[in-house]
Structure 1
């Protein structure tokens, strides 16, 4: 059933066994729900609690920040319309922290501009209201799978990746040009690291969305374009004549290996 103000307060049965921790164990998922509508917040809490999640609620940005500082969470469900500010601002704040926290934005703002802005600010997914709890659970599972896959990849990573004066440290998540650190957002680093792990291979924008952002939807290709433009401005000596990330006209982009090495 899509979520709305008229939705029943009945706790649903389990929809996905994979979301529930094994019997006799502590909940493996602690979720912070930032939602200013008490009824919607309560319904989300009831549904996730029925699936074995430990759920904390925050009705405004200030409370959310306090809870984030006080405890560790596996996922943040973030409404954009908050009484003391905008959920976008909270997303920006979370993305300045060294520990990566998956974020799914929940909002009645359904325009492409709002969705793209949320994703470019670092949200892992964007779900418009009204939504069904089945879809919410599916998107949560998808985000969690990507996080687990990223952790597994991180554990198997080699050391530094060097391409000329460009140096990428996957463990420290740090990029240097000629020994000088380069400030990057989480998504910029993930995009650059993905390219560096697949040198010379051409990727379409849709493929990059699928591999780096975790979704493949028409209309989001300019998100890839804007991230690549920002990357070029940070790592290329001449962004208009890129050496590392090159455009393959009519197809997509590729990362030139050059004298790449790992250690």
Structure 2
């Protein structure tokens, strides 16, 4: 389930747009920014200052500014300006592309001491050693932790986002997968940090 943040001072407009976006079966739209939240995309309505503030907090999240102002705003990296009035279908298509976009650098995500090739589901190392093959679940765990940035992701959150509805899965399931994943990829650099009953990725220079 992809999470889309929608920020608008116009409650009627926000409600209408939210209902349209949530017709997509795999999208959940939230209208409040939560510092603990992880979003796949964000839409800001006519508020350039709010957009700049979010851009500093959601560095890895595609941002869309719905803009009716006379001033032409430059599109920074990761930010797309959508002029009003706009076609709803065009916005939905752009969001769909952003949410499902391939990760940067040819499908690879930089981790501490290695890189995750999402498409191939393997971890590659700069010294040329044999890549480590991952399961689909292990790849999803690393992708979600990467998207979370510096935020500590709790076990319950990771369970809900990666496993979804699975009555047989528990937080112990998460612990077991994290343990096995660390055994596979941490050679010797630590990649996954355990903190405050949750997890985050180690920074490259930490």
Scaled by the length of structure 1, what TM-score is found? Answer: 0.36
Scaled by the length of structure 2, what TM-score is found? Answer: 0.44
Larger radius of gyration: 1
